[in-house]
Amino acid sequence: ANAATDPIANDPAQFAARLAAYGESDLLCYRADGPPPLVERQAARWDPLLDWARARYDVTFAVTAGVMHVAQAPATIARLHEAVAAHDDFHLAGLSPVVTLTGSLVIGLALVEGEIDGDAAWAAAGIDEDWSIEMWGEDWQAAQLRELKRQEFARGVAFLGML
């Protein structure tokens, strides 16, 4: 709430633009090229979210395998920016940790608009990390950091739920 009344309220357009920039490199657009079970998990969780965003905002997404940047269409970026900018300062404040911690504007917008709940959002964002843990185990320091991030994410979700 403090963020909404101070830094965001001072320049909501700039704050919204910084959040909307996540649409240029949304997590959901960068896929693994293997192994097949990971590719299938990503598709199962991420494709419905991208399909929702396509229908909701009349946008297209360039999806790629790997981490090399792939440009999104300027019209897509503009529409996603409009979607973020349409939210008030308090929704932007709650949306911020969701988007920044997941690396996905699409996940954040789906959550804010009630398409998914917080648990589904966190699970979708954590597919790659969950896969790595399943394959190679979990480092205790990484687990502590992940838990801190999950708690901050949960606070953002709870804040949005109060609006």
Torsion angle of the four alpha carbons 75, 80, 86, 92, in this order, in degrees rounded to the nearest 10: -150
Q: How confident is the model at residue 5 (pLDDT cuts 50, 70, 90)?
A: low
Instruction: Report the pLDDT value the prediction gives residue 10, as an integer from 0 to 100.
Output: 72
Instruction: Report the pLDDT value the prediction gives residue 62, as an integer from 0 to 100.
Output: 98
Q: What is the mean pLDDT of residues 113-128?
A: 98
Supply the DSSP string of 57-83, one letter for each residue: HT-----EESSS--PPPHHHHHHHHHH
Which is higher by pLDDT, 13 or 38? 38
Q: How confident is the model at residue 3 (pLDDT cuts 50, 70, 90)?
A: low
Q: How confident is the model at residue 11 (pLDDT cuts 50, 70, 90)?
A: confident
pLDDT digits (tens, 9 = 90+) for 138-155: 999 999 999 999 999 999
Residue 123: pLDDT over 60: yes
Instruction: Report the pLDDT value the prediction gives residue 118, as an integer from 0 to 100.
Output: 98
Q: How much is the CA Rg of the chain, to the nearest whole Å?
A: 16
Mean pLDDT of the residues in the chain: 94
Name the CATH superfamily housing domain 2-162: ATP12 ATPase (1.10.3580.10)
Domain boundaries, the chain: 2-162
pLDDT digits (tens, 9 = 90+) for 43-89: 999 999 999 999 999 999 999 999 899 999 999 999 999 999 999 99
Q: For residue 73, give Cα distances in angstroms to 70, 94, 120.
A: 10, 27, 27
